[in-house]
Amino acid sequence: MIKNYIEKANFEDTGFSYTLSLINGKYKMVILYCLMEFGVVRYSELKRYIRTISHKTLSLSLKELEKDRLIIRTEYPQIPPKVEYSLSELGQSLMTILDQLCTWGEENKPAKK
């Protein structure tokens, strides 16, 4: 019986799969967490906070998060250009879950030797 279910099941159709598709990648959860902690953040601030991320990866991640409606990109018409990022309502609704992941990690990470 379970074998039949497994053979007909499609992981890609699950909510779990959808959620993972939104936050997959090395830095997306870090970007979202940064926006939760600091509110409105500029690109250069994100780059300084996530020291190991390349400009290309940060730019691509921000575009994907915006496309997926998790963040809001606000561009101000001025010189020099000013762009700010913040969580959308959808992104804020995801933060409860990500915050629980952080709590779990803090409680279960191995002690430093």
For residues 107 and 113, give the distance between their C-alpha atoms in angstroms, rounded to a whole number.
16
Cα angle, residue 8 at apex, residues 4 and 11 outer, rounded to 5°:
125
pTM surpassing 0.95? no
Burial pattern 18-30, b for ≥16 Cβ within 10 A else e, equals eeeebbeeebbbb
Mean pLDDT of 96-112: 87
Contact at 8 Å (CB) between 30 and 38? no
State the helix-helix crossing angle for 28-38 and 15-23, rounded to 10 degrees.
80
Residue 74 amino acid letter: T
Hey, what domains does the chain have and what are their CATH numbers? 2-105 (1.10.10.10)
Q: Please list the residues that pair with 24 across neighbouring strands.
A: none
Give pLDDT tens digits for 14-29: 787 888 888 888 899 9
Asked if residue 65 has pLDDT above 70, the reply is yes
φ, ψ for residue 84, nearest 5 deg: -125, 150
